[in-house]
Chain A
Amino acid sequence: MTQAPPAPVTEAPVLGAPVDRIDGTAKTTGQARYAAEFDHPGLVHAALVCATVPRARLVGIDTADALAHPGVLTVLTHENAPTMRKSPSPGLPDISTMATATSVTYLNTDEVHWNGQPVAVVVATTSDAAKEAAALVRPSYEPLPATVDFQAALPDARPQKRNPFSPAGGAKGDAEAALATAPVSVDLTFTTPMHHHNAIEPHATTAVWHGDRLTVHECTQTIDWTRRRLAHVFGVPVADVRVLAEFVGGGFGGKGYLWPGTVLAVLAARVTERPVRLALSREEVYRTVGGRTPSTQRVALGSTVDGKLTALVHTSITQLGRIGGWPEQVTSQSRHLYDAEHVLLRQRQVELDALSTTTMRAPGESIGTYALESAVDELAHRLGMDPIELRMRNEPDRNPLGGTRFSHRRLREAYALGAERFGWAERSPEPGSMRDGRWLVGWGVASAYHPAQMFPANVTVRLFADGTVLLRSAFHETGMGQPTTQAQIVAHELGVPFEAVRVEHGDTALPTGPPAGGSMQTASLAASVRAACADLRRSVHGLARRSGSVVGRQRPADLVARDGGLFGPDGGETYAAILSRAGQSRVDAKVGSDTGLGRVTGQLRFAARMVRDGMRWVRASTGAQFCEVRVDPDTGEVRVTRWVGAFDIGTVVNAKTATSQLRGGIVMGIGLALSEETLVDPRTGRIMNPNLSGYHVPVHADVPELDVAFVGDPDPTMPLGVLGAGEVGITGVGGAVANAVFHATGRRVYDLPITLDKLL
């Protein structure tokens, strides 16, 4: 195989440029369509009936009134629903099993496992009729004992099993002994409530069967996994299931799994032999889609009088459902952020009769950094030391646990950059010492941390004779701007204008893409897109050689891809000219295989790489979050008035969309810090605020201008140097806000969210 001509180093790079979104016009004119917006002839509507008890046996279900409602076609319950296959538990070798949200076979059981489990689905000719009839279904329950109170269950916590991406603990030396003898120490307990994603698009499914072939428009971050799980549940070949999701109205981890609404929409379509749309109400999303676990955390730090950490203890207890859930990696960042001599990290869990908890933006680090960074701030206060100085004194050269090398680490640079932009040097250290009129002013800082990993990604890249390029891969656009950034990478790799690249995504008919999760999509795709583009350049060089082009007479290493072609010291030609001379209408390159064997190989390679990379490097996006709050001394009202986030996310592919991703993380972090809280009735396990009026996400008026800055240093071990940007932005935010509130008021809040009652 000949060597591929190298990718260009151009003067006006498309890589990193703040290019406008490819789909910006579609999204600002109402043309972008989401899962509930596809019409099919004969389309009917479904609505769920959700249990109102936490754990029970169904002893009857009266559907007579519902069936009598005009427009109702059927009511499916455990008494008449056809049998579906149970989804296997999440695990290797098939990573699509990760999408199994619960172990429950909906409507195939008389058992109720959580308060909100669907016990019936109504199908009617209009959505209003379906919803009205759903309210007329009367289930009868025989209650069973249920454990639903997280706080009450804490004494029964057991060691947590690790999740696929992060260990459940770790230790070095004897941290408790070191803590006991440390000259200065803090030993603090923090709690965080349950959170819900609240993507503005509620979950929706439009399902159409043609015989045994299924087409589903689904809002999902994992279209391939969804397809495979549905094929399994309904016992049809994977090849006969097509899942489409060109646009998804936000996910944040909440659309990564096969939740009941999807299964029941497909079931309803199967039974009625009609296309079915099931658009969940906001309340139904809360009832049937998991949220982020609540947590209780202990962080204890011991240090010398000059601020060198001798002990770091971080333990957590989080919640899973008995039917499934995500073991939250709460201590993840504590493995990597501080060079303590002795370390003890331990994660435990309780299992409740509740819906599975799930991944939500930076599972683990979002709430773990709140506790860790609050404790570090408290230690700095007790030491009388600047909190940044304390962090810099404990910045490790190698990973504190195990001594693994960092692939690169630019946290010092992030702090320097952020401190400069924020004006940190002007801070008066004493709590309560800064005021603006009647407002108490506080400045807080915290570290951001999120690991960087990659999924397998199959892509094809097609170069046409007119010099345009088509990238095809079943990846996801849930708001991160992925089609835009991938088009930039193609343009960069082939030296073609950005406008010459088209992208097809969000359809399982395309080569299998990576899930949109774990901040992995951009880098995962970048690796495959680069390889495919190198293959294309190689093919074009071969064509040039055979057809007598000046390009073919030069060595690949001497050629540069630019200006829509390949150019070297002896001249060059555009792709269009080369293809035209060779009589070719197009050239294709492909990375990855969607055959059964190709898939297994891809997954094995993925697993092997994850293990190997984990042994070689600790890799992460990091950052420094700077926050200014103003606190009303009379009411305790907290306003975030200034923000600087300085991040190391490796190479920035698109300065505009990456900034938005990080700002989005910070906004969600402001919600986590100040207002977001899912309220669960401790007697019944019922969510009491399943709506956007009782669960407070930040609004325009809560968000000041967020200054996002990049260190901009490529990671040497990642494709194009790209680390992830989707989650690191939320990490550290809770800590930075809490620390700013402490600085403003002298009150440290150990229980999120920091509502005004906690400051009075």
Chain B
Amino acid sequence: MRVNGAETSAELEPRVSLLDALREHLGVTGPKKGCDQGACGACTVLVDGRRVVSCLGLAVQYDGREVTTIEGVDHPVQRAFVRNDGLQCGYCTPGQICSAVGMLAEHAAGEPSAATERVTSRPTLTEAEIRERMSGNLCRCGAYNGIVAAIAEVAG
């Protein structure tokens, strides 16, 4: 498995989740554990560029894949989060940012969402689209307005 560009190997029991492998075995603590059952999105990472909730996958499934966590992300959306105060306590933030990066790529590839009215053409990334596409990432501090503003700013 490559993690943030570096070849990584670890001997793990089959029951170890990708999230636990990162946090507890590889010392990569950027992805957060909020629920451990795919409901909060705090553990979101990018696998070969697509967003994945890392608590729901087993590490062995990702053998040989390219995993990018917040530590490996260098994207304008990070600065936009700070400018727009799209964070408070910071715990959901790595997941929000990885999710935003993955979501922007999905949108760029023309993928629709539940908020898309016409699926035949590439949807405009309205705020309603951003909200729908980011709804798998919970923020209990309620920084949603800032997060949407940050993503909209970067999306242009």
Using a CB–CB distance below 8 Å, which chain A residues touch chain B? 20-21, 23-30, 32-34, 36-37, 39, 45, 126-128, 132, 197-202, 247-252, 279, 281-282, 477-481, 656-657, 659-661, 663-668, 691-693, 697-701, 703, 705-706
Contact = CB atoms under 8 A, between A and B. Distances in A.
Contact of B24 (A23, A126, A252): A126
Nearest to B69: A30
Interface in B66-120: 69-71, 73, 78-79, 81-83, 85, 87-94, 97, 115
Given A30-B69, A691-B39, A700-B147, A23 B142 contact: no
B15 A700 contact: no
A477 B83 CA distance: 19
A248 B142 contact: no
Contacts of A249: 32, 89-92
B35 A691 contact: yes
30 contacts: A21-B87, A25-B78, A27-B87, A28-B78, A28-B81, A33-B29, A126-B13, A126-B16, A132-B15, A199-B89, A200-B40, A200-B141, A201-B34, A201-B91, A202-B35, A248-B89, A249-B90, A282-B36, A282-B37, A477-B89, A479-B89, A660-B85, A660-B142, A661-B88, A663-B143, A663-B144, A667-B144, A692-B39, A700-B130, A700-B132
B82 A28 contact: yes
Nearest to A201: B91
Contacts of A199: 89, 91, 140
Which of B24, B79, B83, B90 has most A Cβ within 10 Å? B90
Contacts of A39: 27
A484 to B, nearest CB: 10
B3 interface: no
A28 B20 contact: no
Name the 6 nearest CB pairs between A and B, nearest first. A30-B30, A249-B91, A667-B142, A27-B90, A479-B89, A479-B88
A706 B135 contact: no
Interface size class of B (residues with CB under 8 A): 35 or more
Contacts of A664: 88, 141-143
B97 A481 contact: no
Given A29-B71, A281-B36, A666 B130 contact: no
Interface string B118-148: 0000000001001110111111111111111
Given A20-B83, A30-B94, A39-B27, A247 B89 contact: yes
Contacts of A197: 140
B33 interface: yes
B148 to A, nearest CB: 7
A666 B13 contact: no
Contacts of B2: none
* B interface secondary structure, majority: loop
B38 to A, nearest CB: 8
Contacts of A25: 78, 82
B15 to A, nearest CB: 6
Nearest to A706: B145
Contact of B142 (A29, A656, A703): A703
Nearest to B92: A200
A200 B89 contact: yes
A21 B82 contact: yes
Nearest to A28: B78
B110 to A, nearest CB: 21
A660 B83 CA distance: 12
Given A28-B97, A700-B148, A250 B33 contact: no
Chain A contact surface mostly: loop
A20 B82 contact: yes
A198 B8 CA distance: 34
A249 B16 CA distance: 24
A703 B140 contact: no
Contacts of B50: none
A699 B42 CA distance: 13
Contacts of B82: 20-21, 24-25, 28
Contacts of B85: 20-21, 656-657, 659-660
A72 B89 CA distance: 34
Contacts of A21: 82, 85, 87
Nearest to B143: A660
Question: Most chain-B CB neighbours within 10 Å: which of A26, A699, A700, A703?
Answer: A700
B87 to A, nearest CB: 5
Nearest to A655: B85
A199 B139 CA distance: 8
A699 B134 CA distance: 8
A21 B90 CA distance: 11
A251 B88 CA distance: 11
Given A666-B142, A703-B142, 7 more contacts: A20-B85, A202-B34, A247-B90, A250-B89, A660-B141, A668-B140, A691-B37
B15 A128 contact: yes
Nearest to B84: A656
Contacts of A657: 85
A700 B35 CA distance: 18
A532 B85 CA distance: 29
A250 B134 contact: no
Given A20-B83, A28-B82, A201 B141 contact: no
A24 B142 contact: no
A406 B24 CA distance: 53
A329 B5 CA distance: 54
Contacts of A32: 90
A705 B34 contact: no
A697 B41 CA distance: 13
Nearest to A26: B90
Nearest to A247: B90
A700 B34 contact: no
A308 B60 CA distance: 70
- For A45, A200, A249, the residue with the greatest tally of chain B CB atoms inside 10 Å of its CB is A200
A126 B25 CA distance: 9
Interface string B34-67: 1111011010000000000000000000000000
Contacts of A663: 142-145
B9 to A, nearest CB: 18
A671 to B, nearest CB: 9
Nearest to A707: B145
A692 B40 contact: yes
A28 B151 CA distance: 13
B148 A252 contact: no
Contacts of B134: 700
Nearest to B133: A700
Contacts of B147: 700
Contacts of B23: 37
A200 B34 contact: yes
B91 A24 contact: no
